[in-house]
Amino acid sequence: MTPLDDSPKEACGLFGIYGHRDAARLTYLGLYSLQHRGEEAAGIVTHDGREMHSFKAQGLVSEVFNEERLHQLPGRAAIGHTRYSTTGGSVLKNVQPLLVNCAKGSVAVAHNGNLVNAYELKQRLESSGSIFQTTVDSEIILHLLARAANGSFEDSLGECLRELQGAFSLIFLTERALIGCRDPNGFKPLCIGKMNHAYVLASETCALDLIGARFLREVEPGEVVVIDAGGPRSLFPFQGTNTALSHCLFEHVYFARPDSVIFQESVQAVRVKLGRELAREHPVAADFVMPIPDSGNFAALGYSLESQIPFAIGIIRNHYVGRTFIQPAQEIRDLKVRVKFNPIREIIKGKRLVVVDDSIIRGTTTRARIKSLREAGAKEIHMRISCPPTKFSCFYGIDFPTRKELVANRLSLDEIRKFVGADTLGYLSLEGLLKCVGKPSSYCTACWSGQYPIPFGEEGDKFALEKHAGEGKC
């Protein structure tokens, strides 16, 4: 699949609920609010007290589910997943939640993140007889769980989790419980909420807000939260390990919705701080500050507040450009940029503009946007980016292009400026970025600094499991 633009893509959104008669419908609403985390596919699994029910398909949440399909998902417990693939191809067999029946009963799992030891684990499992039905690393978790030593499900889960390396926020649905887990580094977000007598797990707090659930707290890094008829309780299978926190800082820069609280910080508040710091680091004389919507909105507001240059909406985003518009040809990709973002000539013509965006990845989309602003009559365009140059690939759940495709890895700052067509270009420094969050040492900055908190090998290749499918013994 060719993405709509060259922005970084997130892995997925997770949602789960236990103890509500409308579990499937609330999960649908939760996934709808998490649609920004993945637009390729969506799925829901429910348990009605006797058996599991599942439906999943490729497409947006609103395309996959309707009233008839939700009616076919009975039960008071459910988990859901909306996907952008970071491991394995965009095909139906890889759509989550994954559901299996094994000696431990029926188990479904939804996963956000990437396992950096996936290839090694899959080789070992296949050599001992495991047969894989998908090419996603999430299936490895289910095989490890099924093979774990006899004992309680919780003991088996702890044994399984300790074998995983990399980023994983997980939600399991079993015949008795809803279970949420985070890796000990805490790469990906996961929170707990309560709605009357029901408990909710979600990737972001905006999903709780939509259904009227009350935010309780985040699932702690390395914590397993088990929610059953007795309420929630916590397990700590990684206790005793000394693991540094590595929250994904791109959540604040780009991925998360601004109305969410991520890693105990308001996303919109952090983005306003990013804009203020950007204005201090890269001031310029201009008539207006304008964002590339939507992820640049609050950073642009911060730049305007700090610089006292008026804020203006100079580009309108078409929010209805979905997957049905996606075509593989490059000339169509260029056209899609125009379909998705349209400049307002009356605001832009003859003006000096500070244009604020969250990131530049390949640079092709930024160049097309600047070209459209020139055509609308902009006198000057000063591009400002609310994070440092993205020079390194991510192996923990962001689908960045390969390092050689990252424009900041190939070109100097001035070469990037010329490539995108801006009069000036300023990136927020890494030091400035870290000033804007409460606990700088708790964040992963690998895509900017190249300092990876967990080593990786061939597992970093999104399609590594597909390339080697069938090589192991079956």
Give the three-class secondary structure for 142: helix
For the range 144-147, what are the long-range contacts, defined as Cβ-Cβ under 8 Å and sequence gap of 24 or more?
A: 145/102, 145/104, 145/107, 146/100, 146/102, 146/103, 146/104
Under 8 Å CB-to-CB from 386, ≥6 apart: which residues?
Answer: 253, 271, 274, 275, 278, 296, 299, 356, 357, 358, 359, 428
> What's the confidence (pLDDT) of residue 50?
96
**Mean pLDDT within 319-326:** 52
Query: Which range among 182-196, 372-386, 388-402 shows the weakest confidence by mean pLDDT?
Result: 388-402
> What's the confidence (pLDDT) of residue 373?
97
> What's the confidence (pLDDT) of residue 471?
40
Asked if residue 370 lies in contact with residue 355, where contact means CB atoms within 8 angstroms, the answer is yes
Measure the CA–CA gap between 469 and 465, rounded to whole angstroms: 6
Report the mean per-residue pLDDT for the chain. 90
Mind listing the pLDDT tens digit for each residue in 151-181?
Answer: 889 999 999 999 999 999 999 999 999 999 9
261-449: CATH architecture = 3-Layer(aba) Sandwich (3.40)
Is the pLDDT at 322 greater than 90? The verdict is no
Helical (H) or strand (E) element with 18: strand 12-18
pTM, to two decimals = 0.90
Domain boundaries, the chain: 12-245, 261-449
Is the pLDDT at 221 greater than 90? The verdict is yes
**Mean pLDDT within 47-61:** 96
Is the pLDDT at 329 greater than 90? The verdict is no
Q: pLDDT tier at 319 (50, 70, 90 boundaries)?
A: confident
Helix axis angle, 413-420 relative to 364-375, nearest 10°? 50
> What's the confidence (pLDDT) of residue 11?
60
> Given this chain, do its domains 12-245 and 261-449 carry the same CATH topology?
no
Query: Which range among 274-283, 332-341, 367-376, 451-460 shows the weakest confidence by mean pLDDT?
Result: 332-341
Mind listing the pLDDT tens digit for each residue in 379-393?
Answer: 999 999 999 999 999
Give the three-class secondary structure for 247: strand
Indicate if 12 belongs to the active site. Answer: yes
Under 8 Å CB-to-CB from 281, ≥6 apart: which residues?
Answer: 426, 428, 429, 432
**Mean pLDDT within 331-349:** 77
**Distance in Å from the first CA to the final CA of the chain:** 29
Domain 12-245 has CATH 3.40.50.720: no
Asked if residue 384 lies in contact with residue 303, where contact means CB atoms within 8 angstroms, the answer is yes
Is the pLDDT at 35 greater than 70? The verdict is yes
Measure the CA–CA gap between 74 and 419, rounded to whole angstroms: 54
Measure the CA–CA gap between 136 and 459, rounded to whole angstroms: 11
Select the more confidently predicted residue: 113 or 4. 113
**Mean pLDDT within 224-245:** 95
The DSSP code sequence of 336-396 is HHHHHEEE-HHHHTT-EEEEEES--SSSHHHHHHHHHHHHTT-SEEEEEESS----S--SS
Is the pLDDT at 226 greater than 80? The verdict is yes
> What's the confidence (pLDDT) of residue 149?
76
User: Of residues 12, 160, 181, 206, which has the active-site annotation?
Assistant: 12
> What's the confidence (pLDDT) of residue 465?
55
The DSSP code sequence of 148-208 is SPSS-HHHHHHHHHTT--B--EEEEE-SS-EEEEE-TT--S--EEEEETTEEEEESSHHHH
Measure the CA–CA gap between 387 and 432, rounded to whole angstroms: 9
**Mean pLDDT within 387-404:** 89
**Mean pLDDT within 267-282:** 98
Mind listing the pLDDT tens digit for each residue in 410-468?
Answer: 999 999 999 999 999 999 999 999 999 999 999 999 999 999 999 886 545 544 555 54
What is the chain's alpha carbon radius of gyration, rounded to the nearest angstrom?
Answer: 22
- The two tokens of residue 170 are 């997980």
Measure the CA–CA gap between 73 and 349, rounded to whole angstroms: 53
> What's the confidence (pLDDT) of residue 6?
57
